[in-house]
Structure 1
Amino acid sequence: MAEGDVRFRVLTVCTGNICRSPAAERLIRRVWVDGAAGVEVVSGGTHAMVGEPIQISMAHLLEQSGAYSGEFCAQLLTPQLVERADLVLGMTRRHRAAAVALGPAATGRTFTLREFARLVADGAAEFEPTEDRVESLRRVVELAGSRRRAVLDPAVDDIADPYGRDLEAYHLAFTEISRAVDLVGRVLEGLPVSDPRVVGPAAPSPEEAPPGRRSWGRRRR
């Protein structure tokens, strides 16, 4: 998409940028955008495995869901990516904080994915979709921002990193991402939403650390 054609940018963020954030990126493209003009969805990693494709287990889950997993190269999260985004979605609270640290001006439009879905679903009765998907996206960001509040257990906003774990961990992460994306998609379409608690609580997530402090083994991330 040409630079001048982009009217709304979504940025998803995780650690390696080969599991969670690309899954969210591709699902958002399919569910929220679905061919609408003027919307760009990209992802980045706080400690990206630069140049790597989507990890094979996550790629299979994407393909099974009908989303495209090809033509992907992991990239590092940068201040430029954050500053240019109209909506930033971290996969955990740490990713949200990292994005805000790189682009403090983006604080008001930066959420975790599950937090964003919960807030949007909570305010769904107030939302009126428009024919212009860009305008609808702007409105849901404003809606989420207006309803942001502290939660009793902030950990419900985290999606655990499946890398280096079994297939069940990948399925869990993918399911949590997909549910959050679908929930927002229903609001964008003006459809009834299920209980917003489907985006929480999260499974306990292991402490995340950058490569060098965590053993990644020899498996592709």
Structure 2
Amino acid sequence: MSHDLDDTRPNLSRREWREKMASAEPIPATRAPFEGIVPLAGARPTAADAPANPITILTVCTGNICRSPMAEVLLRERLRDLGVRVHSAGTHALVGHAMTAQAQELALRLGATAADASAHAARYLVEPLLTESDLVITMAREHRSHAVQMMPSLLRRAFPVREFARLSSTLTTDEARAAADAAGSDPHARVQAVLRAVADQRGKAPADQSNDDVIDPYRRSAEVYQQSADELVPALDEVERVLRAALTP
């Protein structure tokens, strides 16, 4: 049987999955489950001049211990200078569990801070997290469907991360900035204008959706973890490019 979370989950109810996976990936014995962790650690800017209502990005996968926290900590570090808040959740999260050791190692190698990577504690995707998010970036199409079913108003601001990259690749930085400028100076309005421009590329960009998912590496080899990162990072490059265009007049 495959150990891929996404391969096994559809045959189980949420309760059955939670019971099945409760002890699947134990937190290392050297660390208490919530030792040193505060809610949304590192997610909100703490500087005195940090925005009171920051642009918020939510990354989503299944267990919230591999792909979405890797995307979270990498995007947070990349967008830190813009005061963007980035956090993550899982549709069937292993609540309270840390990032897997392999995911942490990759995240650090790719530029995340050790503090952010070690502070992660998995949590469920719930509606309030979606409500406060300007952009929801999912690791696979099924996660985007889950989020949109929870909140249909997310339709134009929720994207599988590789779909986002595929769509935004047809939108130049100047075009993205022009869309933002047309929305005025409010950061949230600017981001939403750019996201509409990205969504409008549907039908213009190549539509091979089979490549829109980031492979789930959970309980798999180092090679699969590397493949997952190799699929994720170029897509995050596009997210960063578009957000910078929106937030840098």
> If the TM-score is normalised by the length of the shorter chain, which range does it land in?
0.7 to 0.9
Q: What are structure 2's unaligned runs of at least 5 residues?
A: 1-43
Secondary structure of the 1:159 match is: coil
Q: How well do the aligned residues superpose, as a CA RMSD in angstroms?
A: 2.6
Secondary structure of the 2:177 match is: coil
Are residues 152 and 178 of structure 1, via their aligned partners in 2, closer, same or farther at CA, if it must alter by over 3 Å? closer
Name the counterpart of 1:161. 216
Secondary structure of the 1:177 match is: helix
Correspondence 1:148 to 2:202 = yes
Correspondence 1:109 to 2:157 = yes
Displacement, 1:139?
Answer: 4.2
Displacement, 1:183?
Answer: 2.7
Aligned length: 188
Give me the identity figure in percent: 37
Are residues 26 and 133 of structure 1, via their aligned partners in 2, closer, same or farther at CA, if it must alter by over 3 Å? farther
Correspondence 1:47 to 2:92 = yes
Secondary structure of the 1:42 match is: strand
Name the counterpart of 2:238. 183
Are residues 34 and 53 of structure 1, via their aligned partners in 2, closer, same or farther at CA, if it must alter by over 3 Å? same
Are residues 148 and 7 of structure 1, via their aligned partners in 2, closer, same or farther at CA, if it must alter by over 3 Å? farther
Secondary structure of the 2:194 match is: helix
Out of 70, 75, 80, the residue aligned to residue 23 of structure 1 is: 70
Give the partner amino acid of 2:120.
Answer: F
Displacement, 1:102?
Answer: 1.0
Query: Are 1:121 and 1:187, in contact at CA under 8 Å, matched by a contact in 2?
Result: no
Q: Could you state the TM-score of these two structures normalised by the residue count of structure 1?
A: 0.76
Rg larger in structure: 2
Q: Could you state the TM-score of these two structures normalised by the residue count of structure 2?
A: 0.68
In 2, Cα distance between equivalents of 1:139 and 1:152: 22
Are residues 47 and 138 of structure 1, via their aligned partners in 2, closer, same or farther at CA, if it must alter by over 3 Å? same
Name the counterpart of 2:18. none
Displacement, 1:138?
Answer: 3.7
In 2, Cα distance between equivalents of 1:63 and 1:80: 29
In the TM superposition, what are the counterparts of 1:193-208 in structure 2 within 5 Å? none
Secondary structure of the 1:143 match is: helix
**1:52-98 per-position Cα deviation (integer Å, ceiling 9, x unaligned):** 11111010011112202121110100111112211111111100000
Are residues 157 and 52 of structure 1, via their aligned partners in 2, closer, same or farther at CA, if it must alter by over 3 Å? same
1 or 2 for the larger relative contact order (CA 8 Å, sep ≥6)?
1
The worse-fitting range, judged by mean Cα deviation, of 163-172 and 151-160 is: 151-160
Are residues 133 and 55 of structure 1, via their aligned partners in 2, closer, same or farther at CA, if it must alter by over 3 Å? farther
Name the counterpart of 2:81. 35
**1:17-47 per-position Cα deviation (integer Å, ceiling 9, x unaligned):** 000001111111122x13222x211111010
